Each structure stands twice: as structure tokens, then as C-alpha cells.
Amino acid sequence: MLTIYHNPRCRKSRETLQIIEENNQKVQIVEYLKDVPSESELKELLEKLGLEAHQIIRKGEPVFKENYKGKDLTNEEWIKAMVENPKLIERPIVVKGQKAVLGRPPENVLDLI
């Protein structure tokens, strides 16, 4: 079973979900803007991705530009920022077991199928 941290308004997120469905994979959809991951969930996602928190920050978002641009935050501080402002979380993130990928490009999800 795959889990996708999904934003239905995002084209890349929709494309990634379509690839999952076209490959007949069971999928749990988490609309992370409504069901915001906790700090511990984000830490677990980052571990599965093999990335640091700053690497999954959406730097084009107005909330980033207004509040975080040019700041040198720790991993913990970035995680707190993402919990407080989930729009900062890069999307989609797809998880299978102990591995996760960013769906940018959407074809990255094929590594989990």
C-alpha cells in the first residue's frame, strides 16, 4: 500500500496520483493541508526520503518569502515551520514501507511500484 501526501489543487500531485492509479496500486490519500502531519510524522517522512527539512521547503510560496527567506533555520525549526504552515511542504510525497519519494517529477513514484 502506498500513501500519498497530496494536494488535489497541485498538477504534479494529481499526475503522481494518476500514475499510482494507472499501475493499479492501493493508495491512501492524505490531504496534508487538511490533515497536517505532526513534527514526528515529518521527521519520519524526512528519514524515509533521506533528506533534510530545508530540502522539502517550497521556496516559491508567499509564506516562505514573507517569513523565512534568507533565514538560516535548523532542521527542527524548519519542521516546526512546516507544521505551522503546511503549504511550505513540497508535494507530493509518496511513501511505501520504509522508503519515500518526492513526486517531482511524478515519474519518481515508479521507484516505489
Of the candidates 97, 68, 81, 99, which has an alpha carbon nearest to the alpha carbon of residue 36? Answer: 81
Domain count of the fold of the chain = 1
Domain that includes residue 51, residue range: 2-112
Segment 85-102 mean pLDDT: 98
DSSP character at residue 55: G
Predicted pLDDT of residue 5: 98
Residue 32 confidence class, pLDDT cut points 50, 70, 90: very high
Strand order from edge to edge, sheet including 27-31: 27-31, 2-6, 93-96, 99-102
Query: What is the residue-averaged pLDDT of the chain?
Result: 97
**Residue 31 maps to which CATH number?**
3.40.30.10
Residue 102 confidence class, pLDDT cut points 50, 70, 90: very high
Residues serving a catalytic function are 10
Predicted pLDDT of residue 96: 98
